[in-house]
Amino acid sequence: MMKPQPNISTEKPLSAAQISPALFRQLLIVAILGFSSIWGIDAYSGIIAVFDAFSYPLCIGAFILIYILSFSRLNQQSLHYLAYLVVAGYLISCSIWHHLPDNGLFSNSAQWLGLNYVIVYLFLDVKKAAPATAIVFVATIVGHYIALIQNHTVNAAFAVTLNMAIAHVIYIFLLWTVIKLRVTSDQIAARANTLENYAYVDLLTRVLNRRGIEKVFNELNLDSTEQQKNYAILIIDIDHFKQVNDLNGHLVGDKVLNRIAGKLSRTIHPNDILGRWGGEEFIILTLNRTPQQVMALAEKLRTAVSNLVVDDISNITISIGIGYSYEATSKEAVFKIADDHLYTAKNSGRNTIRADNF
């Protein structure tokens, strides 16, 4: 288990940043297979239009090229734009072409136009999707009106494009509503995660507080009889810390606490758990170490702190008490053993370590 850290959510709701290169390549493969299948079906059935006979291989080639470029160092966002341009360009131009006079062959292009608004929010960043949506909407409506008016009356062409515009506005509105709901939901979740993290983190030292330590201990299920854990608890107390506060003030005392917490955090293993138990006491949980390794860690911690100098304050020392999981049957009992050993260390001249048989 990795050392817990404040986990402030940075999730970006429904943005292109969420599409990993691997997922993007999978989408490109789907596009290649989809266009190839439709091309094959239309060609085999003899209903393929001149426009599609030209545009299908062009789109497939473009997707293959983008797929190859996705393995390069090119900006992924630019590739997303390019892929979207291929899809949107094909759907709009194909539908417009089939609405021109004498081109009214079999075509399902118009019913796929709504995909342009779905894909824009899939491939592009939300903030950039809005202008892209507006451009696609205008190109779709104006292009179809120009195509229709060549073979229909102004009123008929206007009626058809107006119906199309209303339908597309509804598509955009419903999709944007879903986006807003997603954004709001993610923002609420992010705020809840932030508040929860603050509840488990000591704001002064930025390590776990007492509540956070207890939470991690419970999550590790240290008292499990099915999976017996090998661990040690180190309780660390800053020697004569009251004198530091009395002689130098609480602001300096807070700085000493913060510096010591940083030193402890940098000295322990990434898998170890560090927290501030309260006042000038810290606690470390270390897993799967032999007693010799635990003692070596404790000595390393003691030496590291003794070398600290904070605002001309030197001779900062700590006392450490250690309890091992083999000494008791519960984490509370192990903690009590470590606490008793700390008491012995404090009464033995301080700046020392006490543990079983030591």
Q: Structural domain boundaries of the chain? A: 16-195, 210-354
Q: Give CA torsion, residues 292, 297, 298, 303, to 10 deg.
A: 130
Correct CATH for 210-354 of 3.30.830.10, 3.40.50.1370, 3.30.70.270, 3.20.20.70: 3.30.70.270
62 pLDDT exceeds 70?
Answer: yes
Mean pLDDT within 68-97: 88
159 pLDDT exceeds 70?
Answer: yes
The amino acid present at 147, given as its one-letter code, is: A
**Percent residues over pLDDT 90 in the chain:** 44
Indicate the pLDDT class of residue 12, thresholds 50, 70 and 90. very low
Residue 108 pLDDT: 57
pTM of the model: 0.53
Residue the block writes with tokens 């990993």: 20
Burial class (CB in 10 A: 0-12, 13-18, 19+), 30: exposed
72 pLDDT exceeds 60?
Answer: yes
Mean pLDDT within 207-227: 88
Residue 104 pLDDT: 58
Q: How far apart, in whole angstroms, are the C-alpha atoms of residue 191 and residue 181?
A: 15
Task: Give whole-number Cα distances, 168 to 90, 121, 149, 218, 242, in Å.
Answer: 17, 15, 20, 53, 71
In whole numbers, what is the pLDDT of the chain averaged over residues? 85
Residue 16 pLDDT: 42
Residue 184 pLDDT: 74
Give the count of alpha carbons within 13 A of 140, CB side only.
31
Mean pLDDT within 155-174: 85
Q: How far apart, in whole angstroms, are the C-alpha atoms of residue 330 and residue 305?
A: 30
Mean pLDDT within 17-46: 86
Mean pLDDT within 304-331: 93
Mean pLDDT within 128-148: 87
Considering only 53-57, 69-73, 77-81, which range has the smallest mean pLDDT? 77-81
Indicate the pLDDT class of residue 2, thresholds 50, 70 and 90. very low
Indicate the pLDDT class of residue 331, thresholds 50, 70 and 90. very high
Q: 20: left (phi > 0), else alpha (psi -120 to 50), else beta?
A: beta
Indicate the pLDDT class of residue 167, thresholds 50, 70 and 90. confident
Residue the block writes with tokens 């807003």: 180
Q: 58: left (phi > 0), else alpha (psi -120 to 50), else beta?
A: alpha
276 pLDDT exceeds 50?
Answer: yes
What b-and-e string marks burial along 60-71, b requiring 16 or more CB atoms within 10 Å of the CB?
A: bebbeebbeebe
Length of the chain equals 358
Q: Which of 35-49, 59-73, 193-207 has the highest mean pLDDT?
A: 59-73
Q: Which residues contact 227 (CB under 8 A, 6 or more apart)?
A: 221
Mean pLDDT within 250-255: 92
Indicate the pLDDT class of residue 18, thresholds 50, 70 and 90. low
310 pLDDT exceeds 50?
Answer: yes
Indicate the pLDDT class of residue 296, thresholds 50, 70 and 90. very high
The amino acid present at 57, given as its one-letter code, is: P
